[in-house]
Amino acid sequence: MPLAVPQSWQDVLAAQTREPYFAELERFLAAERAEHRVFPPEGEVFAALEATAYRDVRVVVLGQDPYHDEGQAHGMCFSVRPGVKVPPSLRNMLKELRDDVGCEVPGHGYLGAWAAQGVLLLNTVLTVRAHEPASHKGRGWERFTDAVVQAMAQRPEPAVFVLWGAHAKKKAALIDPVRHRVIQGAHPSPLSARLFFGSRPFSKVNAALEELGYAPLDWQLPATATL
C-alpha cells in the first residue's frame, strides 16, 4: 500500500514522494509488513501530520522512533492511545509538566489535545519492527522527516522546535534559530531523566510562543481521553 501524505502537507512534501529513496522505503515497508509485525499500523504512519496541518503548526516536538511494544504506537511521538499504560518517557514528561506549569497528571498518555493546539508530535523515524527498537533506522525515514523539519523552518510563519536528546538535536542544523525558537534539552527517557527534570521545557515553549506573537498553549490534558 503506497504511503499517502496527508493533504495539508502534500504541496511541501510532494518532491520527497517522487524521490527514488521514497519508493525504496515503500518497498522496504511492504516487505517488513509481510514478514513481521510493524508499528504503528499502516493507516497511522502519518498520524502526526494528519492531526496537525502544516499551516496550523506552532510547536514541533521531535521524538526518535515509535514505541515498539504491542498497542503503544499510533503515529504521534510520545503519545499512546487511551487505555494503554503510560510508557516511562511519557510518565517523566507528565511529571515535569506538573512541576513546571502545574498541570494535573491525567490517567492516560494520549496527547491529541496538544496536537489539536498546533503541536506537531513527529518521530524522526516513523515505523519500527515489533520489539526491535531502531530496526527501521537508516531506511529513508530520516531524510523524509528532515524534509518535514525543513518545510517548517522555511515556512513564513515561525515556530518553536523542541529537541530532546542527541538524536533530535541533530535536526537543529536545519532550523534558523533567529527566525524560529529552538529549545534543546535532555531526553525524558529514564536514562537521562535526572537532567530532564527541572529543565522546565513547557514554560519555555509558552514563553517562546509569546515572543513570536502566539498565544501560549494549554498543556493540561483532559482527565479522560477520547479519540
The catalytic site residues sit at 65
Say how many Å lie between the first and final Cα of the chain, rounded: 25
How does strand 128-129 pair with strand 38-39?
A: antiparallel
The predicted model scores a pTM of 0.96
Q: Report pLDDT for 171.
A: 93
Three-state secondary structure string covering the chain: CCCCCCHHHHHHHHHHHCCHHHHHHHHHHHHHHHHCCEECCHHHCCHHHHHCCHHHCCEEEEECCCCCCCCCCCCCCCCCCCCCCCCHHHHHHHHHHHHHHCCCCCCCCCCHHHHCCCEEEEECCCCEECCECCCCCCCCHHHHHHHHHHHHHHCCCCCEEEEEHHHHHHHHHHCCCCCCEEEEECCCCCCCHHHHCCCCHHHHHHHHHHHCCCCCCCCCCCCCCCC
Mean pLDDT computed over 118-133: 97
Q: How many CB atoms lie within 10 A of CB 31?
A: 10
Tell me phi and psi for residue 196, to 5 degrees. Answer: -75, -45
Q: How many CB atoms lie within 10 A of CB 217?
A: 19
pLDDT digits (tens, 9 = 90+) for 166-220: 889 999 999 999 999 999 999 999 999 999 999 999 999 999 999 999 999 999 9
Confidence of residue 3 (pLDDT cuts 50, 70, 90): confident
